[in-house]
Structure 1
């Protein structure tokens, strides 16, 4: 790539392209965002090679011996790490490679700050704990919460100091990219091409903001606190990804016999695989059931653990099924379905009312028989009431 821009302006142009992503105005899942990240990484690695070829930083120097314009480029390792951390959405291996590159960039950034004595004694102790395998955040929940609160307060104070020191006074909640852009020349008026042959990291005084070295050091320390959190998150994510199951294509490449076993299993198993039948093949347009089926819980409501458990610990034979009509017939045969009752039973005529209706049909044998039945019933009831006075059986209340 050939350009005619000075190195600081090239760096500022690359950071400007990343600002919408780091400010969360553009989602990383957007294909446009992934294209921006890929292009920005190419530019960032090019800037890194240019800085190394120019010998901007040396192992035998101190932070006081570096100029303000060169000190800005110490943030390059953090920017590369943060950009790599937001990419790698093409699968498990792609994500792991991206996280590993981010981890390498973050580690080089910490080493650079340590070698130039940018960190305070407290920062050095925290950095050595995280880089030497010791946990930067304790495992005890109470101490872990206290450590996070202390880190949040530290980051908040740094952001406030930085915001007060910068000419544009950016918001304290702004992303670190915004703070870095305030250290670099404006990108509003610049040519579209840059040259790798530009051998100076100095900035045009008319275009460069006046920033003190202490402000730049504060920004580098802010990036340091962010680096420790990112390294902790990357370590946990890499551990999860390393234990995650590989995709089918990767399993086939490693062990083709696994695919053959899956195909054989699908041939001898009697129960249908998910997705074999479509809803229109199970139920007709008028709601009639066309074939037996089993109603299962929604897979969206099931956790991955429950779904995997159901796939592993399942019966090796086909379970008996029946239609809804067959199920209702079987339940009715067993006497588990109650019929009658309700409003229709309440509105139906009683036996006495039916006899009265039948007795009204004069001149028929059925009417005479029902009339005689009703007469006998009324006579028996009259004899019962004569022999059993009202309240005769009420011996408890005497009422």
Structure 2
């Protein structure tokens, strides 16, 4: 796929600022914010940028190759698109836009259970090459039906979400009426009125809803009752038995997202999982916890030969991807960067963000003299 980069937005920070101006405040703060005082939100990225790489300038390399093999598939870059709930709230049809961009550029896209496109639609867009993240349902019948639909859609990787045993305390979302149950406030209406392009595009696309869950949600629910239904229907607390049951039922690759300790990494190995995503939910769940990259390094040191290790949370740019891989990750995922891109540039946002990240990562690898992504591990200072 040919690169597409809008020269007016040559960095993620430019996309973020454009997105901030282009969408209502409640939508931007839902995307941009963390929990409590947002300490870990900032720490995630700051700690990645404390990791230093050692350049080599007198050694020749032929050509930088970003291709990375993961679960039997060779992707064109060592990064993918993280699952984000309510993507269509930030920009209409964002889920579909990003799924199409991921497919075109041959990187993985993970659809959330509470995404705004259905698993069947994303499977159609990606020809079955997307991943699916499961919020664990309280009832086994619903869980099994979701698993059967994901399998029927042909998606190869199931991602279990483990780090939402309770909803993070997010004061901006409470103020904006986006807590559970959600509500429409007068301030929200004013924000919508002052962002007519977003409002028009939302009107054309239709109100964002949890499309994968539509068949399970009783018709005619108002926002309050929808919130109560979601609280009752999903139980975020995983345990060994629940994961083991899914491992027995799911025949594809199985990944646990939200690993932040060596103890949980060992449990994943014991359960026969194929991979883990070291993550703290982008700083949206536990404010006074370790950054994701701090948790990653001992996990990678002790488990890299036992299970595929990926990471998200705090990764914003190509250099961030390089430092994360240098710290032991086999693969990386980004969420906010892609949503800034779509919120800023609409249907071109996914293509632009992927092309930008690839260009930035290639430049870093040229500087540190790496032909292949895995060589970055040898370029970390104080390795």
| TM-score between the two structures when normalised by the length of structure 2 | 0.22
Flag the structure with larger Rg. Answer: 1
More strand by share: 2
Q: Larger relative contact order (C-alpha < 8 A, sep ≥ 6)?
A: 2
| TM-score between the two structures when normalised by the length of structure 1 | 0.21
